[in-house]
């Protein structure tokens, strides 16, 4: 079984990636797991996380840094990657702006890569990643887990059967809770690096493409700057207009503003109005999934509320009689599917055979890869250009070279 290295030990590793990997390890589907952060305290906290310990008794990972080294160790992951056997699984779960150097480092060490979204912040970087991976017959997949939500497949099927007509106007929102401002986000989700649209809005841009096959051609990203508790500044309120090649428009609003007392971990959803027949529409509430609870006491989890509308669909632990608990949901399915794609690519054989299978995976379009989801990088790049210019529209070109420019 392949060993797995997760680079980054923050929220997404705790909430989704490590539990999904532990599940696969318990099922004999992956080998040893290593997690590398830049502080020993990060991996120690992850190793001691009560929810994970309860779900996976007896399982553990190798942690780096092993000890407090007098400060952060931002380069340590490079040494750890170089120690991994070739064609292992390296999962990049770092802040957005570090995805590019870490992915390239893994590829140059002949490792397959899974990267959390957004893959990188420019089209040029995604082209470089694609070339490096393709030459070596290595897999790179982007973890867009909303693609593994069953409702996304339902919408994709209806749209591609023509039952939803043609997308014209849409709105999407994804508001994370206010308390995110107190987390490690305040150290990296700052004006010079990224913004709420780049961080979280890319999910809905990717989803509209996944459903419709349409490509974005322009982005206007207006951001309001707010101050974190540590004094750093971030674009914490974004209103973004994405135009598509058929003239359709998607408006995306993203923030770290959902009240701490709001029910559910966030508020999110997608509405699309479409032309054709007698008119068509799609309306997905991705936060309220029909469950409401009023608790007699709050849990200890951050953002816990008395009144709660949890989503059982992204991630939850089920008690199926043990050992431990079973993580289920589209967050788990997404990681499993990506890791299994790596096994398929590897089993294809020599570099030429692997390249052929990689091209097939690109064409199928179920997984987001550098080659088949470059529109995401272009939207992010255009979005950054726009937000840094007060929300002016930025245009996307695909030919002859992918690029963005102010309108
Ligand atoms: N809904 C989603 O798809 C979703 C949700 C959350 C995060 N993410 C993505 O996951 C990534 C990480 O987000 P997060 O929420 O886990 O953030 P986080 O701030 O909680 O964690 C980031 C981790 O990276 C570590 N790190 C930073 N520099 C490092 C280095 N040089 N070497 C090793 N470790 C280093 C930090 O110590 C921290 O543990 C981001 O790109 C984010 O966009 C996706």
CATH number at residue 285: 3.30.360.10
**Are 174 and 241 found together in one domain?**
yes
Is residue 155 in a domain?
A: yes
Give every CB contact of residue 1 below 8 A, 6+ residues apart in sequence. Answer: 25, 28, 29, 30, 31
**What Rg do the C-alpha atoms of the chain give, in angstroms?**
21
Is residue 401 in a domain?
A: no
Is residue 318 in a domain?
A: no
Backbone angles phi, psi at 34, to 5 degrees: -125, 140
What is the pLDDT, as a whole number, of residue 264? 86
Q: Give me ligand 1 centre to Cα 98, in Å.
A: 9
Residues 251, 255, 259, 262, CA torsion sign: positive
What is the pLDDT, as a whole number, of residue 93? 98
For ligand 1, atom 6, which residue shows the shortest CA distance? 12
17 lines ligand 1 (CB under 6 A): no
**Are 109 and 232 found together in one domain?**
no
Residue 167 near residue 246 (C-beta atoms within 8 A): yes
**Are 161 and 137 found together in one domain?**
no
Total domains in the chain come to 2
The H helix count followed by the E strand count for the chain is 14, 18
**Are 106 and 11 found together in one domain?**
yes
94 lines ligand 1 (CB under 6 A): yes
**Are 47 and 117 found together in one domain?**
yes
Is residue 260 in a domain?
A: yes
What is the pLDDT, as a whole number, of residue 303? 82
pLDDT in tens, 342-374: 999 999 999 999 999 999 999 999 999 999 999
**Are 157 and 265 found together in one domain?**
yes
37 lines ligand 1 (CB under 6 A): yes
State the DSSP code for 147: G
**Are 357 and 307 found together in one domain?**
no
368 lines ligand 1 (CB under 6 A): no
Is residue 319 in a domain?
A: no
What is the pLDDT, as a whole number, of residue 300? 85
Q: Give me ligand 1 centre to Cα 10, in Å.
A: 5
38 lines ligand 1 (CB under 6 A): yes
Q: How far, in Å, CA of 225 to CA of 336, rounded?
A: 37
Is residue 332 in a domain?
A: yes
303 lines ligand 1 (CB under 6 A): no
Q: Give me ligand 1 centre to Cα 40, in Å.
A: 15
Is residue 396 in a domain?
A: no
For ligand 1, atom 1, which residue shows the shortest CA distance? 200
Along the chain (407 residues), what's the average pLDDT of each consecutive run of 10 residues? 97 97 98 98 97 97 93 97 98 95 98 97 96 98 98 98 97 96 93 94 97 98 98 98 98 96 93 95 95 93 89 96 97 98 97 98 98 97 97 97 96
Q: How far, in Å, CA of 332 to CA of 328, rounded?
A: 6
**Residue 354 maps to which CATH number?**
3.40.50.720
77 lines ligand 1 (CB under 6 A): yes
**Are 96 and 182 found together in one domain?**
no
**Are 368 and 382 found together in one domain?**
no
Give the ligand 1 atom nearest the CA of 188.
19
pLDDT in tens, 117-170: 999 999 999 999 999 999 999 999 999 999 999 999 999 999 999 999 999 999
**Are 339 and 367 found together in one domain?**
yes
Question: How many C-beta atoms surround the C-beta of residue 163 within 10 A?
Answer: 12
Pick from 8, 205, 311 the residue to mutate for probing ligand 1's pocket: most ligand atoms within 8 Å of its CB.
8
**Are 281 and 171 found together in one domain?**
yes
**Are 249 and 194 found together in one domain?**
yes
Enclosing domain of residue 108? 4-146+328-372
Is residue 405 in a domain?
A: no
DSSP output for 27-83: TTSS--EEEE-SSHHHHHHHHT-HHHHHHSTT---EEES-S--SS--TTHHHHHHHH
């Amino acid at each position: 079984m392949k060993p797995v290295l997760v680079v980054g030990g923050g929220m997404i590793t705790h909430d989704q990636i490590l539990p999904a990997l532990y599940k696969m390890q318990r099922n004999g589907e992956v080998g040893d797991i290593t997690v590398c952060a830049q502080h020993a305290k990060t991996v120690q906290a992850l190793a001691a996380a009560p929810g994970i310990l309860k779900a996976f008794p007896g399982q553990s990972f190798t942690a780096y840094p092993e000890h407090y080294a007098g400060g952060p160790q931002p380069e340590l992951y490079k040494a750890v990657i170089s120690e991994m056997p070739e064609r292992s699984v390296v999962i990049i779960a770092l802040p957005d702006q570090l995805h590019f150097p870490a992915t390239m480092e893994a590829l140059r060490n002949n490792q397959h890569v899974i990267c959390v979204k957004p893959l990188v912040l420019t089209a040029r970087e995604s082209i470089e990643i694609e070339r490096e991976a393709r030459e070596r017959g290595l897999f790179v997949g982007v973890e867009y887990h909303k693609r593994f939500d069953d409702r996304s497949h339902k919408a994709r099927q209806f749209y591609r059967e023509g039952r939803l007509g043609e997308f014209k106007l849409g709105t999407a929102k994804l508001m994370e809770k206010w308390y995110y401002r107190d987390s490690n986000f305040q150290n990296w989700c700052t004006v010079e690096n990224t913004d709420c649209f780049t961080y979280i809005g890319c999910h809905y841009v990717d989803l509209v493409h996944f459903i419709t096959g349409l490509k974005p051609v322009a982005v206007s990203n207006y951001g309001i700057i707010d101050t974190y508790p540590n004094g750093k500044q971030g674009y914490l309120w974004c209103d973004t207009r994405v135009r598509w090649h058929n003239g359709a428009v998607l408006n995306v609003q993203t923030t770290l503003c959902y009240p701490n007392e709001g029910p559910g971990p966030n508020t999110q959803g997608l509405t699309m109005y479409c032309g054709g027949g007698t008119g068509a529409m799609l309306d997905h509430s991705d936060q309220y999934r029909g469950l409401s609870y009023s608790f007699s006491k709050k849990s200890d989890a951050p953002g816990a509320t008395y009144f709660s509308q949890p989503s059982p669909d992204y991630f939850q632990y089920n008690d199926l009689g043990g050992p431990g608990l079973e993580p289920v949901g589209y967050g788990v399915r997404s990681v499993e599917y990506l890791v299994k794609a790596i096994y398929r690519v590897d089993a294809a054989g020599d570099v030429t055979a692997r390249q052929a299978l990689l091209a097939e995976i690109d064409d199928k379009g179920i997984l987001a890869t550098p080659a088949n989801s470059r529109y995401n990088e272009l939207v992010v790049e255009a979005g950054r250009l726009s937000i840094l210019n007060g929300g002016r529209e930025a245009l996307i070109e695909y030919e002859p070279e992918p690029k963005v420019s102010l309108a």
